Amino acid sequence: MTITNNVSLKSFNTFGIDAKAKSFCDITSVKTLRNVLREQYSNPLFILGGGSNMLLTKDIDALVLHINLKGIEVVDETESTVIVKAMAGENWHQFVLWSLEHNYGGIENLSLIPGNIGTAPIQNIGAYGVELKDIFLNCEAINVKDQSIRTFTKADCNFGYRESVFKQKLKGEYIITSVNLQLTKSNHKLHMDYGAIKNELIISKIDTPTIQDISKAVISIRQSKLPDPKEIGNSGSFFKNPIISADQFIQLQENFPDVPSYKVSEQEIKVPAGWLIEKAGFKGKRFKNYGVHNKQALVLVNYDDASGSAIFELAKLIQKTVKRLFNISIETEVNII
Ligand code: EPU
């Protein structure tokens, strides 16, 4: 186990923010993780996965544990389903591609989501009508304080919209080391209700799509709207889509008849934050070396060496403006560090 001091985290966060870690340790085995925790649990620790859902607004005055556990294996299968265990440090999209190569279905709609396997359950990643919880079986995690290993079932995880027990009650208490997902080997259940997917398939003249076709469609949609973090620093959706009361929605619709919406329940309506931010005039706005993406207003971008705190100030300005114009509070989806 090697601990290095004063390490730049620029290449470890998809926003590309050049914050420094006081010290840094690359974790490549569960055994090493246990040993480090045993020695260091009483010191400040910072757990780093794919770095795709965080905005670093300052240096990290802690030991950063970079979870770099690798490995993918089939642990059980029936004629029609397979249980795949993937280690926390595997890149999510590479895992999706691996599944598609083996013709395992269930995660094709989650193609090209940035981040790692181990962080996928923390915020119950989701896109185009599918969420991680739909194929999640369980995950293994290590307790930071006493290093005991615990298996979390789907019920234990308490998944919600971009939410789980790991962001709420057990925040900071466990480190996920591996995830078991249940995928299909045949009779794949396709999720194509999303208008954009339907359109892509029509354009490609595909009427009986495979899981690989759906993945290609999703990749094409995401590439057309979302910036590639390798080219422009970003963390995907910066804000969550707010859920408002049906009464408030009726008022909003009176003033803005074109407002898109998704019904959550009889009393609750989800409104796309991207639409609100665009209406507030921020889409494509550039402030020196950072700004709001020009094709999807939900995404804040770092064009070139911007500071995390400048981007955070912009986020606060957006929140304030949306609140003033629509009386709607939008919460960040990205963790502000
Ligand atoms: N819209 C605008 N202007 C914008 C962006 C969106 O008017 O700048 C409108 C669109 O026209 C559409 C609606 O808002 O009517 C929804 O937009 P979109 O389909 O792009 O989805 P989203 O609600 O903005 C969510 C997820 C994405 C996920 C997509 C597709 C959240 C916070 N975001 O975005 O997730 O890929 O749906 O399912 O729920 C992520 O979490 O990083 C992420 C990219």
pLDDT of residue 193: 83
Q: Could you report the per-residue pLDDT of 246-299, keeping only the tens digit for each? A: 999 999 999 999 999 999 899 999 999 999 999 999 999 999 999 999 999 999
Q: Report whether 3 contacts 24 (CB < 8 A).
A: yes
- Residue 229's pLDDT band, with cuts at 50, 70 and 90, is very high
**pLDDT higher at 43 or 134:** 134
Q: Could you report the per-residue pLDDT of 66-122, keeping only the tens digit for each? A: 999 999 999 999 999 999 999 999 999 999 999 999 999 999 999 999 999 999 999
Three-state secondary-structure class, residue 55: strand
Active site residue 162: yes
pLDDT of residue 195: 84
Average pLDDT of the chain to the nearest whole number? 96
Domains of the chain by residue range: 3-67, 72-184, 233-336
Residue 1 has pLDDT above 80, yes or no: no
pLDDT of residue 243: 96
- Residue 194's pLDDT band, with cuts at 50, 70 and 90, is confident
CA–centroid distance, 225 to ligand 1, in Å, is 9
Give 72-184's CATH code, choosing from 3.40.50.720, 3.30.465.10, 3.40.50.150, 2.40.160.20: 3.30.465.10
In this structure, the residue with its CA closest to atom 15 of ligand 1 is 260
Q: Report whether 14 contacts 112 (CB < 8 A).
A: no
Q: Report whether 282 contacts 239 (CB < 8 A).
A: no
Integer-rounded Cα Rg, in Å, for the chain is: 20
- Residue 42's pLDDT band, with cuts at 50, 70 and 90, is confident
Residue 221 has pLDDT above 90, yes or no: yes
* C-alpha triplet 170, 172, 174: angle, nearest 5°: 70
Rounded distance between C-alpha atoms, residue 165 and residue 222, angstroms: 28
Which of 275, 277, 279, 293 for mutating ligand 1's site (highest number of atoms within 8 Å of CB)? 275
Residue 126 has pLDDT above 90, yes or no: yes
CATH T-level fold of 233-336: 3.90.78
Catalytic residue among 162, 178, 222, 235: 162
Q: Per CATH, the architecture of 3-67 is what?
A: 2-Layer Sandwich (3.30)
Pairing type for strands 126-127 and 81-87 reads: unpaired
pLDDT of residue 242: 97
In this structure, the residue with its CA closest to atom 41 of ligand 1 is 237
Active site residue 333: yes
Three-state secondary-structure class, residue 46: strand
pLDDT of residue 41: 82
CA–centroid distance, 174 to ligand 1, in Å, is 30
Contact residues of ligand 1, CB 6 A cut-off: 127-128, 225-226, 236-237, 240-241, 260, 272, 274-275, 278, 283, 296-298, 333
pLDDT of residue 176: 98
Active site residue 265: no
Closest CA to 36 of 176, 28, 89: 28
Tokens representing 171 are 């925040």
pTM of the model: 0.92
CA–centroid distance, 140 to ligand 1, in Å, is 31
